[in-house]
């Protein structure tokens, strides 16, 4: 089957680089265009990321040779991945949607729009149907959540589906790569913690509800988040306490985590074998050791136990660059293409 | 007024060193004996801590010259500070109590004993009266809490006294110095977080209740803790969510924090001007910037706001070596001496 | 004696903040004006450094209240400290010199000018006489060296004076605060070393010669530097190998380090008791433990030994913010005022 | 061709774990036995490394199932890799050599013995002939150098062969994993550098000469090393200055680095495509970005330039766990088997 041409907007940033890396040898997609700011347009991709390439695998040679283009339609691509900064992403993404592309966006701009699906494929793939209401003609915008929220949503979803979640208290310990590049000054975070990330708590509290299909106001679930930045390169650790509607034992919760696999038979190339890994070691998950579980697409869970205040506490780790950003947008694109591919 | 002779048990460890440092030029106390393990007994103190001295101020020359003794009574000291490891502290502390000393202990061994006061002077100084029930004759044991617990107790106490605390959900980000020396291997914590500290959560959950004068079973307050170790040298950051019995606005809570000063007029040398500092910057407190507030004896509080699940969330920072250990034992000793000094 | 009014240019940056901190309660000087970029001019100093104050001691309340001014003469100050960025320092410093001020500059712009003294008071205070050749009227410019160079110059000077230095091979391990704020992105330096600091090696190689009174071309001393950035907050560690003209034993070199104290009787307030501290522990000096030796004004030396290639190797540690920047400019000002004060 | 059965001594340590990881799917070798201390013997390998597995790839399932044995011959293995600690390695390695095994050792114990080859395959593979002089019968001991030395030897070898090396001045910035596990306490290295590693400088200075085939006393080359421990997990950075006998331009030196490939056609499975990678970016190599170059088997070189004191300076990075330890022993084993395999 012929590969679908795709484009990456914001290809020189950290998330854009990870998209380029994940798209190397992708079975369904191939990169037709890499786009960046006007300042970088016209340069070779290899030159633009010279000395700044972050993904663990080397810069793919095919991408290295590409000449960067401006973020303006039309591009010869049916799917456009947006790793743009939210300061510019809004109108650019709309212009590509209007030009007929499916925009798979990692930016926050359109996430909370009523007609824009905010999708975690394992949780709410039916929300993709919102695309039909967007009025962009053949194009559309689908978004993935904030890099912390996606970990919360994946961990809470099976519990909510089975037992009904009522209250969720989250404390995050987030990696510095979540702030992009250059991001945090080293002087601010060496031997330090910063107990605040701008607008992050609000995103977790509102995006989680939308993903779970709940109204922001009047939802049965209350979500509270406190975010901290810690001196860790990659991997957001989420400390979660949850109160459930139905009674459940620890083993019941463990089973829901372990058996959660709603994409099991769909064959999406970027879906991990299991989206949730329940670790039994008493001191896991840890960012340095578990961030690459499932190729960075699995959320690792540990320290599950009953709680004295709410019902259960546990810790979840999400790779903020893969499952929390580049891999999330890619999985959304794969999901959106599934129907089209089956009919071919 | 003549200074009281005191001894330090476990003087070569991190907490012991900080006690030695804090006792330099203390207006009430002077060091009569420094004690350590049999392996170190007989060595000069300067030699035993050679290359391992941790406090920010230099090793006091008077302490440097002292010859280390074994941890065996009698010593010519009315007050004995115990910075011993919990693996040996229990019987040693008892032997000193029996010999007529007041043992001010930082170790966990006797903290939860019914007849042993677990004291934070600003919170429950009346618990000192338990000393009379110990049956050690003129001696006794008074303990200070675990290095995280003391931050929780100080932050919750004014809210509990005014509004009644009902539920407290705590997530800690704790510094590596809390594990003593050698403590954590560098390989385990560089670029990493460990979401578990052995027996720490249990200590926070039980000690807090005892300090607040509540029974562990049947208390009106439920306390839940999740502890994380982060790559920070000193300063435990506590993320706290609290539910109160009475209604309160954010300003009411802020006022209780700011006006909390129950030791105000007692003249204890190690008491900070204010035990709680409410910071208004949106990204404070931070370990690197706030751990020395109030000479390491003040707990810094920030990010106070209403919460969607419980009533309020805030962040508190406690210097685990000073207010959480050496300074806590010292303040307890000062409190215990207060009556005696006044009668002189 | 009445205190001299002084001004600080670039008062909001890291070096400027340290100058403000060091000037608190200075016996000779008092702050008459704090100056910053036009964007900050008109704001209260406390407001401008809100949340960004770096020195270990709290922001002095007298400085906190000052209103920031633009970096334009005239100011009511005889001495002007320049902590300006080199992108703007050049002409501003000249304008103040022309207006009759003595500019004590930490910036690189004028350091290598033939008529500008580059002074380390313990090494080449006689170079101050260059001030008379500058033609600025009553004003002038005196500079202190780069934050690494000053450590090299202080360590090499006594050896050069006694034995004649021939070859100096330097490898630096430099702290991130040397790059100012925001400086290095955290993502670039966490769990990493960067073996390059822009223009730093050249500065060490040329400034050292000028301080030692040698021509850059044709000097008898060859100096070679390789600079590395390491994940340390403050304290530049210098690994130095040196070849001497005269024969010397290790004890001879040690004695020169220990007896070096050319400012001994001058009474400069910021001069440390001894500029060089020779440490005997085999694993010292270390940034975390020795950066504050001598109030940050002493250079700590260790690991002195004979070498298989050159004559001796040793390690020197310089506090890049104090002795390497703010304290260096302040000591130069004190030196320059010495004559004036004596005649008063 | 049937795979050779091999054993790993010290399989639970960091280097042993990396050997187990590198041996997974090795085309020539298969693990017949994993050996550890008596305390661990009898346990499943998976259980013994539970929560302590360090290599980036997951624990191989075949190794996971193995039952650990004591480090005592006989084992059903022709090649025995020793990742033992030097406190026990000496006699154990000899016992295996006497039992007829080829011991490929990463331990320091026998490295400097006259009849034991200290081999870097690209540099001195002819030294393997020393095996015949050992008198162990069919068995023998071959060693690889210290984790820093191997980087020095690989970088200096091509220059020495072409131009003759005269003087080598080395300053290392070494990762904490070089000290094994538990290794350094986190409190000693967070925000710090330690300018000393016990016995490391001596190893670099003597082992390098032996590898280059030179006598320790009377060699034409003088080697000087100063070692520092830096807060980096993996990757030793070597700052090297070298003086050559013959004249050479920078391009000449660069060419020798780039064309150095003496194993080019031998087909050793663990040999990297090129042992030396010359990087042109001005701020490379960096541990975090270059430690995995060539699968961890390539030494990355950068910052090559002429020097003011010696002839050239450059920076080299060696992965201390792969090329500096596990991979070095493995490559030695492959080299030793080459003849045997060819005759098959």
So which residues of D are the catalytic ones? 147, 236
Q: CB–CB of D19/D8 below 8 Å?
A: yes
For the segment C282-287, the average pLDDT, to the nearest whole number, is 96
Is B284 at the interface with chain C, CB within 8 A?
A: yes
For the segment B211-216, the average pLDDT, to the nearest whole number, is 89
Shortest Cα–Cα distance, C120 to chain D (Å): 24
Cβ neighbors of C173 (< 8 A, separation 6 or more) are C228, C230, C232, C236, C237, C238, C239, D173, D193, D228, D230
Q: CB–CB of C226/D315 below 8 Å?
A: yes
For the segment C316-336, the average pLDDT, to the nearest whole number, is 98
Tokens 């493995």 belong to D330
Chain D partners within 8 Å of C285 (Cβ) = 195
Which residue, D150, D129, D145, D141, is CA-closest to D104? D141
Q: What is the CA radius of gyration of chain D?
A: 19
Chain D partners within 8 Å of C307 (Cβ) = 224
Helix segments in chain D, DSSP class H? 14-23, 45-48, 61-65, 86-98, 121-124, 149-163, 186-189, 200-211, 250-259, 287-290, 327-343
Which one of A13, A177, A190, A289 would you mutate to disrupt binding with C, by most C Cβ within 10 Å of its Cβ? A190
Give the pLDDT confidence of B58-113 residue by residue, as tens digits.
Answer: 999 999 999 999 999 999 999 999 999 999 999 999 999 999 999 999 999 999 99
Chains that touch B (3 or more CB pairs under 8 A): A, C, D
Cα(A173)–Cα(B237) distance, integer angstroms = 11
Nearest CA in chain B to D179: B187
Phi and psi, residue B21, nearest 5°: -65, -45
Give the pLDDT confidence of D290-307 residue by residue, as tens digits.
Answer: 999 999 999 999 999 999
Cα(A31)–Cα(A77) distance, integer angstroms = 8
Across the interface, which of A186, A191, A232 has its CB nearest the CB of C185? A186
Is D282 at the interface with chain C, CB within 8 A?
A: yes
Which one of C13, C175, C190 would you mutate to disrupt binding with A, by most A Cβ within 10 Å of its Cβ? C190
Cβ neighbors of D19 (< 8 A, separation 6 or more) are D8, D11, D81, D83, D326, D329, D330
Cα(C147)–Cα(A62) distance, integer angstroms = 44
Shortest Cα–Cα distance, D158 to chain A (Å): 27
Q: CB–CB of C167/C326 below 8 Å?
A: no
Shortest Cα–Cα distance, C192 to chain A (Å): 11
For the segment D143-161, the average pLDDT, to the nearest whole number, is 98
Is B181 at the interface with chain D, CB within 8 A?
A: yes
What's the whole-number average pLDDT of chain A?
96
pTM score: 0.96
Nearest CA in chain B to C50: B281
Chains that touch D (3 or more CB pairs under 8 A): A, B, C
| Per-residue tokens: A293 | 């579980």
Instruction: Answer whether C195 sits within 8 Å of D283, measured CB to CB.
Output: yes
Instruction: Answer whether D292 sits within 8 Å of A56, measured CB to CB.
Output: yes
Please determine, for residue D2, whether its predicted confidence score (pLDDT) is greater than 80: yes
Please determine, for residue C204, whether its predicted confidence score (pLDDT) is greater than 80: yes
For the segment C199-207, the average pLDDT, to the nearest whole number, is 97
Cα(A313)–Cα(A305) distance, integer angstroms = 6
Instruction: Answer whether D281 sits within 8 Å of A190, measured CB to CB.
Output: no
How do strand C236-244 and strand C165-174 relate by DSSP bridges?
antiparallel
Is A55 at the interface with chain B, CB within 8 A?
A: no
Instruction: Answer whether C283 sits within 8 Å of B190, measured CB to CB.
Output: no
Shortest Cα–Cα distance, C203 to chain A (Å): 24
DSSP B127: G
Instruction: Write down the pLDDT at residue B217.
Output: 76
Is C283 at the interface with chain B, CB within 8 A?
A: yes
Please determine, for residue D336, whether its predicted confidence score (pLDDT) is greater than 70: yes
Is A188 at the interface with chain D, CB within 8 A?
A: no
Instruction: Write down the pLDDT at residue A84.
Output: 98
Shortest Cα–Cα distance, B231 to chain A (Å): 6
From the candidates B18, B110, B160, B236, give the one annotated as an active-site residue. Answer: B236
Cα(D306)–Cα(C339) distance, integer angstroms = 45
% helix, strand, coil for chain A, step of 5:
35, 25, 40
Instruction: Answer whether C181 sits within 8 Å of A181, measured CB to CB.
Output: no
pLDDT-wise least confident of B190-194, C247-251, D261-265: D261-265
Please determine, for residue D225, whether its predicted confidence score (pLDDT) is greater than 80: yes
Chains that touch A (3 or more CB pairs under 8 A): B, C, D
Give the pLDDT confidence of D4-56 residue by residue, as tens digits.
Answer: 999 999 999 999 999 999 999 999 999 999 999 999 999 999 999 998 999 98
Instruction: Answer whether D284 sits within 8 Å of A191, measured CB to CB.
Output: no
Give the pLDDT confidence of A205-249 residue by residue, as tens digits.
Answer: 999 999 999 987 778 899 999 999 999 999 999 999 999 999 999
What part of D 204-243 touches C (C-beta under 8 Å)? 205, 222-224, 226, 228, 230-233, 237, 239, 241
Cα(B150)–Cα(C60) distance, integer angstroms = 30
Instruction: Answer whether B237 sits within 8 Å of A224, measured CB to CB.
Output: no
DSSP A118: B
Give the pLDDT confidence of A162-207 residue by residue, as tens digits.
Answer: 999 999 999 999 999 999 999 999 999 999 999 999 999 999 999 9
Instruction: Answer whether A188 sits within 8 Å of C186, measured CB to CB.
Output: yes
Cβ neighbors of B140 (< 8 A, separation 6 or more) are B97, B102, B103, B131, B134
Instruction: Answer whether A226 sits within 8 Å of B196, measured CB to CB.
Output: no
Is A190 at the interface with chain D, CB within 8 A?
A: yes
Instruction: Answer whether D287 sits within 8 Å of C232, measured CB to CB.
Output: no
Please determine, for residue B343, whether its predicted confidence score (pLDDT) is greater than 90: no
Instruction: Answer whether C187 sits within 8 Å of A191, measured CB to CB.
Output: no
What part of D 286-315 touches A (C-beta under 8 Å)? 292
Inter-chain contacts counted by CB atoms under 8 A, chains B and C? 13
Q: What domains can be seen in chain D, in order of their start residue? A: 4-145+325-343 (3.40.50.720), 149-319 (3.30.360.10)
Instruction: Answer whether C51 sits within 8 Å of B190, measured CB to CB.
Output: no
Q: CB–CB of C193/C163 below 8 Å?
A: no
For the segment B248-276, the average pLDDT, to the nearest whole number, is 97
Please determine, for residue D344, whether its predicted confidence score (pLDDT) is greater than 60: no
Instruction: Write down the pLDDT at residue C137.
Output: 86
DSSP A325: I
Helix segments in chain B, DSSP class H? 14-23, 45-48, 61-65, 86-98, 121-124, 149-163, 186-189, 200-211, 250-259, 287-290, 327-343
Cα(C92)–Cα(C172) distance, integer angstroms = 31
Cβ neighbourhood burial of D44 (10 Å; 0-12, 13-18, 19+): middle
Instruction: Answer whether A237 sits within 8 Å of B228, measured CB to CB.
Output: yes
A35 catalytic residue (yes or no): no
Cα(C207)–Cα(C153) distance, integer angstroms = 9
Instruction: Answer whether D286 sits within 8 Å of C223, measured CB to CB.
Output: no
Shortest Cα–Cα distance, A50 to chain D (Å): 8
Give the pLDDT confidence of C97-121 residue by residue, as tens digits.
Answer: 999 999 999 999 999 999 999 999 9
Q: In what order do the strands lie in the sheet with D79-82?
A: D69-70, D29-36, D4-9, D79-82, D102-105, D140-143
A110 catalytic residue (yes or no): no
Q: CB–CB of C289/C319 below 8 Å?
A: no
- Sign of the CA dihedral running C211, C216, C221, C223: positive
Q: CB–CB of D154/D123 below 8 Å?
A: yes
Instruction: Answer whether C51 sits within 8 Å of B292, measured CB to CB.
Output: no
Higher pLDDT pick, A100 / C218: A100
State yes or no: ipTM above 0.90: yes
Is C189 at the interface with chain A, CB within 8 A?
A: yes
The Cα-based distances of B34 to B23, B80, B82, B344, D168 in angstroms read 12, 10, 11, 27, 49
Q: CB–CB of B69/B41 below 8 Å?
A: yes
Is A56 at the interface with chain D, CB within 8 A?
A: yes
What's the whole-number average pLDDT of chain B?
96
Nearest CA in chain B to A190: B232
Give the pLDDT confidence of B266-290 residue by residue, as tens digits.
Answer: 999 999 999 999 999 999 999 999 9
| Per-residue tokens: A63 | 């991408």
Q: What angle do CA C30, C34, C36 make, to 5 degrees?
A: 160
Chain C partners within 8 Å of D168 (Cβ) = 309
Q: CB–CB of D171/D228 below 8 Å?
A: yes
Instruction: Write down the pLDDT at residue A124.
Output: 98
Shortest Cα–Cα distance, B168 to chain C (Å): 29
Cα(C277)–Cα(C270) distance, integer angstroms = 16
Q: CB–CB of C31/C74 below 8 Å?
A: no
Helix (H/G/I), strand (E/B), else coil: D84: coil
Cα(A234)–Cα(D73) distance, integer angstroms = 44
Q: CB–CB of B221/B212 below 8 Å?
A: yes
Of the CA atoms within 13 Å of residue B68, those in its CB half-sphere come to 25
Instruction: Answer whether C50 sits within 8 Å of B281, measured CB to CB.
Output: yes
Nearest CA in chain C to A177: C187
Cβ neighbors of D303 (< 8 A, separation 6 or more) are C195, C196, C226, D282, D284, D313, D314, D315
Helix segments in C24-55, DSSP class H? 45-48
Instruction: Answer whether D51 sits within 8 Å of A190, measured CB to CB.
Output: no
Instruction: Write down the pLDDT at residue B344.
Output: 54
Helix (H/G/I), strand (E/B), else coil: C112: coil
DSSP C131: G
Is B187 at the interface with chain C, CB within 8 A?
A: no
Tokens 């049999």 belong to B38
Chain B partners within 8 Å of D186 (Cβ) = 176, 183-186, 188-190, 231
Cβ neighbourhood burial of B281 (10 Å; 0-12, 13-18, 19+): middle
């Amino acid at each position: 089957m012929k590969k679908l041409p795709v484009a990456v907007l914001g290809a020189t940033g950290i998330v854009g680089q990870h998209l380029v890396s994940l798209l190397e040898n992708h079975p369904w997609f191939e990169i037709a265009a890499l786009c960046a700011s006007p300042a970088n347009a016209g340069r070779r991709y290899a030159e633009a990321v010279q000395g700044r390439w972050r993904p663990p695998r080397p810069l793919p040679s095919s991408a290295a040779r590409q000449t960067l283009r401006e973020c303006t339609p039309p591009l010869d691509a049916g799917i456009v991945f947006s790793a743009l900064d939210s300061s510019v992403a809004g109108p650019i993404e709309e212009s590509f949607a209007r030009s007929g592309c499916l925009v798979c966006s990692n930016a926050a701009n359109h996430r909370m729009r009523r007609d824009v699906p905010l999708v975690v494929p394992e949780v709410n793939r039916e929300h993709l149907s919102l695309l039909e209401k967007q009025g962009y003609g053949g194009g559309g915008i689908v978004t993935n959540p904030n890099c912390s929220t996606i970990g919360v949503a994946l961990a809470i979803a099976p519990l909510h589906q089975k037992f009904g979640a009522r209250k969720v208290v989250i404390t995050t310990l987030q990696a510095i790569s979540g702030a992009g590049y250059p991001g945090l000054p080293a002087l601010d975070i060496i031997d330090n913690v910063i107990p605040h990330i701008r607008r992050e708590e609000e995103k977790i509290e509102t995006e989680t509800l939308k993903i779970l299909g709940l109204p922001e106001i009047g939802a049965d679930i209350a979500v509270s988040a406190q975010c901290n930045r810690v001196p860790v390169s990659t991997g957001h650790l989420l400390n979660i306490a949850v109160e459930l509607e139905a009674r459940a034992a620890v083993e019941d919760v463990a089973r829901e985590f372990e058996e959660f696999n709603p994409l099991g038979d769909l064959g999406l190339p970027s879906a991990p074998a299991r989206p949730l890994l329940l670790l039994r070691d008493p001191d896991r998950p840890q960012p340095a050791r578990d961030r690459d579980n499932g190729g960075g697409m699995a959320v690792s869970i540990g320290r599950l136990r009953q709680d004295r205040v709410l019902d259960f506490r546990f810790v979840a780790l999400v790779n903020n660059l893969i499952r929390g950003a580049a891999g999330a947008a890619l999985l959304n694109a794969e999901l959106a293409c599934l129907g089209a591919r089956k009919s071919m």
